[in-house]
Structure 1
Amino acid sequence: MKHNFRKLKIWTEAMSIVTITYKMVRDFPDIERFNLTSQMIRCAVSIPSNIAEGSSKSTDKHFRKYLENSLGSAFEWETQLNVAAIESYITKETFEELENRIQQLQKMISGFHGGLDI
């Protein structure tokens, strides 16, 4: 294994998004249990999962594909965060804080992706 995912800052930050997501969706209405709640959890878990899975690949070229998937999930999660804000499931302050965090993570993943050998 070329990269130890547990030591990657992008994985650690992605795991914090998972924790935040589980706490946040507890306050969503029951009608969202199988909709937005489920989707946000799946996206949040997908971000660090793809980083971890990609780190096991034998080449950076293969790892890059998993980072792209992780980044896609981060953008999907950001969209769902917007839906939660529009539906007033979260406060404006929570939205702004989490939007900033996910955008920072997106930049981190993009930067890491760009730094890998092709």
Structure 2
Amino acid sequence: MDLTDLAFDFCKQLPSNERYNLIDQINRCSCSIPSNIAEGSGKRTHLHFAEFLSTAISSSYELQTQLLICQRRRYGNTEMLNNCLMLVEEIQKMLFSFREYILSDTSIRLDS
């Protein structure tokens, strides 16, 4: 959720002509990360949850790509952009580790 807030705040600085391109894309994929984690946590099996974590990871890479495009085009505040990129990488590591933990421990029951 912190990443989503930071990404939305970063988008406020982007050129208005990017409203239907980068801004919408950044907002969508930054929302998709916590949304897929939340949706997956409500699933009955660890395999289903892992699938939603994989989708969240994919969304994080999509967000990272959009932010790198902003970096290449020199859009927005550099410090805020760098903070977004660092947080994306941190979240990717956490999601990978969490997904691997869930997949390695077949005794986890998510419905309890």
Q: Which TM-score band applies after superposition, normalised by the shorter structure?
A: 0.7 to 0.9
Matches within 5 A, 1:61-76: 61-76=47-62
The one-letter code sitting in structure 2 at the alignment partner of 1:112 is: F
Percent same amino acid at aligned positions?
A: 35
Considering Cα pairs closer than 8 Å and 6+ residues apart, tell me whether 1 or 2 has the greater RCO.
2
**Greater Rg over alpha carbons, structure:** 2
Question: What is the DSSP-based 3-state SS (H/G/I as helix, E as strand, rest coil) of the residue aligned with 1:57?
Answer: coil
* Match of residue 92 from structure 2: 106
The answer as to 2:29 corresponding to 1:32 is no
C-alpha contact (below 8 Å) 2:7/2:84 kept by paired residues: no
Question: What is the DSSP-based 3-state SS (H/G/I as helix, E as strand, rest coil) of the residue aligned with 1:71?
Answer: helix
CA gap of 1:92–1:26, structure 2 versus 1, over 3 A, is closer
- In 1, the alpha carbon distance for the partners of 2:15 and 2:44 equals 44
The one-letter code sitting in structure 2 at the alignment partner of 1:82 is: L
- Give the aligned CA root-mean-square deviation in angstroms: 1.2
- In 2, the alpha carbon distance for the partners of 1:19 and 1:91 equals 15
Structure-1-length-normalised TM-score: 0.83
Structure-2-length-normalised TM-score: 0.87
